[in-house]
Amino acid sequence: MYMHILVADEHHAFFDLPCICMYHAYTMKLQSLPCYCATLRQAARAATALYEEALSDSGVRSTQFTILQALKTAPDLQTTEVGQLLGIDQTTATRTLALMRKSKLLGDSTGADRRERRWRLTPLGEATYRRLVPKWESAQAMIERRLGRAEAIALKKYAFAAANVLSAADEKTRK
């Protein structure tokens, strides 16, 4: 963060000194906020940080691992289907899938329509997925240890239900 500090002494009027200040993540406690959206984002950021740490030495982001998981389970999905499955917009899905193709984790083929792309894991993607599953399982176990197993399962259940209902409501408002 960059800020200015105003300084005055007996011989000089106020003058502006630039100062670079570092934010220390642990200097302020997380606050309970009145907004559902903000609170859900706090939880999502905390969970994402935990998974990113678990995968940190792999070069694969947690969002990319999720796509590897999805395509391992359901290969040959279209870009739109990947986005819908994960609850992300078309632009984000297209950009992430293209980056993963560039990294040789995914391959694509043309569908019935030339504009349609179908995605699958490459051999490198398969190997990367297998190599990262234990790291992902470790992150899953960490969530369960910190929250408690029953609470983690309940959180997943209610978060999915909320995502499902809220995205369905969003679809209705767009029509």
Domain boundaries of the chain, sorted by first residue:
2-174
User: Which residue do the tokens 């740490």 mark?
Assistant: 53
| pLDDT of res. 82 | 96
| pLDDT of res. 170 | 61
Contact 104, 124 (CB under 8 A): yes
Angstrom distance (rounded) from CA 42 to CA 33: 9
Mean pLDDT by groups of 10 residues along the chain of 175 residues: 46 46 60 92 96 96 97 95 93 96 96 86 98 98 97 96 83 58
| pLDDT of res. 25 | 52
| pLDDT of res. 172 | 58
| pLDDT of res. 168 | 72
Angstrom distance (rounded) from CA 37 to CA 90: 22
| pLDDT of res. 21 | 42
Angstrom distance (rounded) from CA 115 to CA 112: 9
- Which residues have a Cβ under 8 Å from the Cβ of 152 and sit 6 or more positions away? 143, 144
Closest among 136, 137, 148, 143 to 52, alpha carbons compared: 136
Query: Residue 121 belongs to what H/E stretch?
Result: strand 117-121
With 0-12 / 13-18 / 19 or more C-beta atoms within 10 angstroms meaning exposed / middle / buried, residue 12 is exposed
50-76 per-residue burial string, b: 16 or more CB within 10 A, e: under 16: bbeebbeeeebbbbbbbbbebbeeeee
CATH topology of domain 2-174: Arc Repressor Mutant, subunit A (1.10.10)
Query: In this structure, what is the dihedral angle of CA atoms 91, 94, 100, 103, given to the nearest 10 degrees?
Result: -100
